[in-house]
């Protein structure tokens, strides 16, 4: 089971429901763009993307295809297929198991309805892999005010997941329920400044840990690690607040800023800063660069190694629940072309984006070194990851 958990870190691969995060990222980015486009349906388009992640001993790649079609100037329908091919062995797997290979497929369908200055949205997503099934529905409403200078949107989503364990029929099937609330305000401040503020609350209940992951405790002699199945609370509530600014610059450029703060009922506190710069060059090229810095405090029940097995009720050694900082530097280039004799095709764009991510864990140790240095004396773990996304978009 390889889910991608990004509630506390939007890019890290704790292998958990990526569809849950993708929908959140899409909804927040869409709400930020509303202010400059007012209440109109998005243009018809088709997107093909190839994504690749390589870091921490894990490789994830695959294609994604999205198609948007409008009807009667009031309805906009989208369909999306997203595939993750996962191979390798993270540090957790390397210590306790062998390399794995698996595939996750996500199918999404959504519809937007435009009435006056209001857009109503409804969507459904299904994600499937060999030991994790996820179903999510969402509804949204956005409304423009004050001569289209302001836009408010609200989104609610509900998810129902089923967790199983490969080669362990005795584990059975465990349920996980998710609820997400997102409130967003986009505002045109001046001719050059845009602002977006968003508030998000997540409520998760059920089997919230990875059934393959284990925590460690000192053995009876106090000289080595023993591993046991992690034990998590069966509920989690998290809150996040983000504020974003976009400043339009001379020479067809734009500068963006973001600050986001996060906290949850497990004791995690986190925040991140993001700065991005976009510049159009001549008529066909767009270049961008961004830097993101993220910091997180550990969950209350996390420890790299517990002093003894019965030290507390809840116990975890998931490194994404530990204390760490990360930095991401990204660059990208887009080439746009408007053909004159391609029939129904209005514009074509090809984009290549690359991110370099570095993560430094403060209290997650490299237990692979135990035999040489002793339990608890291992070095702090860190990883580097390369993330590549190649897009081709056709407007028609």
Tell me the mean pLDDT in the region 174-192: 96
More confident of the two residues 34 and 381: 381
Q: Is the pLDDT of residue 25 over 60?
A: no
Tell me the mean pLDDT in the region 220-225: 87
pLDDT for res 38:
58
Averaged confidence pLDDT in the chain: 89
Tell me the mean pLDDT in the region 41-64: 95
What pTM was estimated for this model as a whole? 0.86
Tell me the mean pLDDT in the region 176-193: 96
pLDDT tens-digit map of 310-350: 899 999 999 999 999 999 999 999 999 999 888 889 999 99
- 270 and 297 in contact (C-beta within 8 Å)? yes
pLDDT for res 93:
80
Tell me the mean pLDDT in the region 367-395: 95
Q: What confidence tier does 222 reach under pLDDT thresholds 50, 70, 90?
A: confident
DSSP assigned state of 167:
T
Own/partner contacts of 189-194, CB < 8 Å, gap of 24 or more, are 191/248, 192/247, 192/248, 192/249, 193/245, 193/246, 193/247, 193/248, 194/32, 194/35, 194/36, 194/245, 194/246
pLDDT for res 40:
85
pLDDT for res 94:
83
Domain boundaries, the chain: 4-395
341 in helix, strand or coil?
coil
Q: Is the pLDDT of residue 17 over 70?
A: no
Tell me the mean pLDDT in the region 50-69: 96
How distant, in Å, are the alpha carbons of 126, 127, 192, 280 from that of 107? 5, 6, 38, 34
CB atoms within 10 A of CB 145: 12
Q: Is the pLDDT of residue 292 over 90?
A: yes
pLDDT tens-digit map of 357-373: 999 999 999 999 999 99
27 in helix, strand or coil?
helix
Q: Is the pLDDT of residue 35 over 60?
A: no
Tell me the mean pLDDT in the region 165-179: 91
Q: Is the pLDDT of residue 151 over 90?
A: yes
pLDDT for res 260:
98
CA distance 346 to 339: 7
How distant, in Å, are the alpha carbons of 306, 320, 366, 370, 387 from that of 226? 10, 20, 15, 11, 34
**Portion of the chain with pLDDT greater than 90, in percent:** 78
Polymer length of the chain:
396
Q: What confidence tier does 89 reach under pLDDT thresholds 50, 70, 90?
A: confident
Tell me the mean pLDDT in the region 96-107: 87
- Classify domain 4-395 at the CATH topology level: Porin (2.40.160)
């Amino acid at each position: 089971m390889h889910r991608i958990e990004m509630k506390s870190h939007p890019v890290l691969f704790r292998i958990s429901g990526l569809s849950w995060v993708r929908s959140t990222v899409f909804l927040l980015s869409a709400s930020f763009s509303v202010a400059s486009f007012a209440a109109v349906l998005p243009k018809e388009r088709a997107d093909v993307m190839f994504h690749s992640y390589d870091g921490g001993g894990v490789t994830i790649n695959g294609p994604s295809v999205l198609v948007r079609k409008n009807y009667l100037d009031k309805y906009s329908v989208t369909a999306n297929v997203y595939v993750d091919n996962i191979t390798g062995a993270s540090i957790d797997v390397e210590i306790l198991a062998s390399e794995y290979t698996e595939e996750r497929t996500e199918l999404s369908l959504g519809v937007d309805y435009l009435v006056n200055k209001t857009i109503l949205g409804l969507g459904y997503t299904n994600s499937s892999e060999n030991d994790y099934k996820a179903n999510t529905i969402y509804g949204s409403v956005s409304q423009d005010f004050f001569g289209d200078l302001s836009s408010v949107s609200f989104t609610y989503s509900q998810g129902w997941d089923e967790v199983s364990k490969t080669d362990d029929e005795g584990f059975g099937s465990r349920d996980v329920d998710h609820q997400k609330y997102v409130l967003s305000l986009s505002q045109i401040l001046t001719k050059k400044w845009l602002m977006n503020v968003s508030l998000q609350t997540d409520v998760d209940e059920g089997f919230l840990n990875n059934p393959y992951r284990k925590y460690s405790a000192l053995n009876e002699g106090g000289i080595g690690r023993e591993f046991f199945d992690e034990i998590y609370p069966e509920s989690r509530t998290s809150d996040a607040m983000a504020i974003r600014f976009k400043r339009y610059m001379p020479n067809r450029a734009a500068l963006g800023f973001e600050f986001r703060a996060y906290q949850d009922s497990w004791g995690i506190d986190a925040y991140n800063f993001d700065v991005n710069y976009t510049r159009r060059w001549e008529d066909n090229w767009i270049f961008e660069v961004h830097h993101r810095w993220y910091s997180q405090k550990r969950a209350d029940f996390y420890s790299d190694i517990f002093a003894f097995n019965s030290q507390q009720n809840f116990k975890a050694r998931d490194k994404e629940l530990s204390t760490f900082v990360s930095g991401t530097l990204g660059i990208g280039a887009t080439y746009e072309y408007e053909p004159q004799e391609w029939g129904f095709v209005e514009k074509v764009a090809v984009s290549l984006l690359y991110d370099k991510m570095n993560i430094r864990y403060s209290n997650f140790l490299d237990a692979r070194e135990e035999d040489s240095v002793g339990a608890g004396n291992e070095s702090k773990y860190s990883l580097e990851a390369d993330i590549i996304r190649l897009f081709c978009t056709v407007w028609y």
